[in-house]
Each structure stands twice: as C-alpha cells, then as structure tokens.
Amino acid sequence: MYLHGTSRINEQGHLEIGGCDTTELAKTYGTPLYVYDETLMREKCRAYNQAFQESGFSYQVAYASKAFLCLEMSRLAAEENMSLDVVSGGELYTALQAEFPAERIHFHGNNKTEAELIMALQADIGCFVVDNFFELEILHDLAKEYGKIVNVLLRVTPGVEAHTHEYITTGQDDSKFGFGISSGQALQAMKIALLKPHYNVLGVHSHIGSQIFETDGFVRAIEVLGTFLESVRTETGHAMKILNLGGGFGIRYTEGDTPLPVANYVKEMTDAVREQFTKREYPLPEIWIEPGRSIVGDAGTTLYTIGSIKEVPGIRKYVAVDGGMTDNIRPALYNASYEAMLANRAYEEPEETVSIAGKCCESGDMLIWDLKLPTVASWDLLAVSCTGAYNYSMANNYNRITRPAVVFVRDAQAHVVVERETFADLVKNDRVRTKEFV
Ligand SMILES: *Cc1c(COP(=O)(O)O)cnc(C)c1O
C-alpha cells in the first residue's frame, strides 16, 4: 500500500498516521474507524492557495464539501482560507453551525428546494450557482421577496466531459446539470439573468468531471468558455468577472493512478485562461475552483478488524471485515479500486491473494478484489487507504449498521470529530403507533 502524507510504518511494525499508532487508535475508538491525516489535508489546501498566489490571478479555492463534511472539517477549511461549496440545506447548515464565513459559501445543485434557497438567502451566502431556468425564476422571486440582491454564477455545460485520462466532447450536452452552451440555452439564460434586478451576475461555472489526471479537458473547456463569454459580451455588453472551473482533480488510489501535483493543474488552467482571455481582449477574470476529492481523499484511511475468513477451494479466499458498503459504497457503486495493508503487521511480505468482503447482505458488498497480503488471520487490523472522499459522506445504515466514528490525527494526537453512531441513534426517529390504531 502506498503511504500518503504522514503515514509511515513505526518501530513496532504498525501503520502510523499523524504520529498515532493505528493499532492504538483501533483499540481506543473501535473499528471500523475513519482516520484523517490533518496535516495532509492542510497541505493540500495550502498547495492550491499557493499555486494561485503564484499565478497572479485573483481567485477562490472552494472546498467541495460533499466529499466529506462535519463541523471540524468546516473549521479546518475556514482556517485554511478556503471557500466552501455546498449542495444541500444539510451541508449549508453544517457550515453555518461551524461558523464558516457565509460570504465564502457557494450553493450548488440542480434542484435546490425553495426552503434551501430561503435558508441560503437568509444566511447571506456569497454566491448561488444557478443551474436551470426554473431556479433562475424562483431564486429571483425569493430574492425580491426577501429584499436581497444575490450574487449568481450560471452553471453551463461546455460539451466537454473528462474522465481520468481522457476527455470526450459531448456534442449534445447530455447532462442533468447546467445550461448547455451549444444549444444556445446558456446564452438565453445569461440574457434573462442580466435583466433581473435582484441578480448580480458574476460569471459562469463549469465542472467537467471527476478523478481527472490530465489538464487537456480543462484547457478545452476554457476555450469553449472563452468563446461563450465573448459572445455574451457581444450580445449584451457585459463582461463577466468570475470564471469557475469546478473540481475533479485526481488522486492516487492505486498504482495505475497518475495524478499531477496540485500546482500543475492550477498552472495549466491559469495559463490557459490568460491565453484565451488575452487573445479575445477580454478582462482577465477572477478564477474559482472547487476541489473536493483531492483535498480529503488520500488523507483518509479506514481501519477494519478482520473477522471470518472463507476459502473457496481452488477459487478464492474471502476475508471479511466489520464494515463494507455501509462505510465505503464506492466499490459497489462504481467499481472503485483501493489498496490496503495489515496495519498490525505492516512489515511482513505479501504471501497470499485474498478478496476483502464487507459484512452486508449483498454479494456485491466487496471492498477489494485480489489484494496481496501477508497470511491473514482473524483479528488482524486492515487499513484501506484513500478513503477520505465520498466514503463517510456516502455512508449509510443498510442492515441497520451504525456509521463509524471519524478521528483527525496530527502530532501524535487523535481527536474524535464525529462520534460513532449508536443503536439508539438508529431508532431515534422511529415511532411506534398507538395500540388503538392496531
Ligand atoms: C463534485 C463536484 C466537485 C468536486 O469534485 P471532486 O472530484 O471531488 O474534486 C466540484 N464542483 C462540483 C460542481 C461538483 O459537483
């Protein structure tokens, strides 16, 4: 297993993260346990901020909170001068509870409810990313009703979609998100928005995909956005101040993944914006980006206790852990791959190939296929790396399994930032009907 951030193997042959021995963490807090390397998360935030400072552009780096959010994560992002993307009332609530500066909160989503929009208006958040014609109308009606002038970006689909190593040009802009540029809807939406007195239209937003390793998709999107903004200026006389290029920067989950350093993505993007906008004699915009996975993904490690081991003779050895698709649904959802190691015997050489199964009642509840490990025994501690993004945030209670605790580790100290759910939590919203009804 690749060791990210402060992860190392200590003198006892145990995996250590943030100076904390993972076998001790497991003893103290139980398993499954999400362990976050705080230093690594902060380094990532700083790398983005520094790269933008070097670019000379005005900028905002918004942490896409859907990757992982809790009160302490909001606080960390605020301390690291990040802005914050939220996509629901629940994420917004969490950020506000943590006193995240409202003016640095951006609200995304293709179907924000009226209640969510009102909540965000009342909180005076920094910006709404308007996704569709319905929202364009109702947000404005609400802004008027609440006596606010709101900052808006329009989410547009540039017809470029990036996946890992490649980007594809999607001619028909077949996406549930945003206003299509090629269909003319983006220009139409822009014209409508610019006429609305309770809108302060700041610019456009585009998000072209996730777990992207190359920069060519971003560069292509920037070209399309440059052309689009030029046509907006020609047709309306308005130049836009902000260009939001979304997130999607890749991380290394397994050997085959080859992300670029954070600084390279920023440099290629800012260079492309400078080139495209200078060429069009368009004022250089402020650039916003929205990394999620690349801030928290490789900072997270999940610790599991190994339980039952089943050998299917001649075929496969199933090694079951005390979690699974309830704490990491990504393998079941989209075949995501992970690396893992025995955290209590980290120096031992791999000797067998096993497959890591979860404990849920689904054959598809497999975490890792064909993983090389030292000879595994029940009660060993398995550490799965790179589980910081879209694991806790997608965790669920299937089989009425409780969600694990989350600890942040740094300088040999561990702090619980989310408690383990209890069985009482599982029934706290249940109601038993009265006898008379039955
Ligand atoms: C999910 C998402 C992000 C973050 O994507 P990552 O791949 O986690 O960096 C950013 N912006 C928008 C609009 C998103 O939907």
Place of tokens 């067998």: 352
Block means of pLDDT (10 residues each) for the chain, length 438 residues?
Answer: 97 98 98 98 98 98 98 98 98 98 98 98 98 98 98 96 82 82 97 98 97 96 98 98 97 96 97 98 98 98 98 96 98 96 96 97 97 98 98 98 98 98 98 83
Q: What is the pLDDT of residue 74?
A: 98
Whose alpha carbon is nearest atom 7 of ligand 1? Answer: 248
Q: Does residue 66 have its Cβ closer than 6 Å to ligand 1?
A: yes
List of residues 6+ apart from 260 with CB closer than 8 A: 213, 214, 215, 249, 250
Q: Does residue 63 have its Cβ closer than 6 Å to ligand 1?
A: no
Q: Which of 152, 132, 247 is nearest to 199 (CA)?
A: 152
CATH code matching the domain that covers 8-37+297-427, chosen among 3.30.530.20, 3.30.9.10, 2.40.37.10, 2.40.50.320? 2.40.37.10
Are 383 and 15 contacting, i.e. CB atoms less than 8 angstroms apart?
yes
The sign one gets for the Cα dihedral 315, 321, 323, 328 is negative
Whose alpha carbon is nearest atom 10 of ligand 1? Answer: 247
Q: Which of 156, 204, 201 is nearest to 177 (CA)?
A: 156
Mutate to test the pocket of ligand 1, among 73, 262, 290 (most ligand atoms within 8 A of CB): 290
Half-sphere exposure of 127 (CA within 13 A, CB side): 23
Q: What is the pLDDT of residue 287?
A: 98
Q: What is the pLDDT of residue 212?
A: 96
Q: What is the pLDDT of residue 167?
A: 85
Is the pTM higher than 0.75?
Answer: yes
Q: What is the pLDDT of residue 438?
A: 65
Q: Respond yes or no: is residue 361 known to be catalytic.
A: yes
> Ligand 1, closest atom to CA 212?
7
**Residue spans per domain, the chain:** 8-37+297-427, 108-291
- Domain 108-291 falls in which CATH fold? TIM Barrel (3.20.20)
Q: Does residue 293 have its Cβ closer than 6 Å to ligand 1?
A: yes
Q: What is the pLDDT of residue 172?
A: 57
Are 376 and 354 contacting, i.e. CB atoms less than 8 angstroms apart?
yes
Are 336 and 330 contacting, i.e. CB atoms less than 8 angstroms apart?
yes
Q: Does residue 180 have its Cβ closer than 6 Å to ligand 1?
A: no
Q: What is the pLDDT of residue 293?
A: 98
Residue 414 to residue 419: CA distance in whole angstroms? 13
Q: What is the pLDDT of residue 30?
A: 98
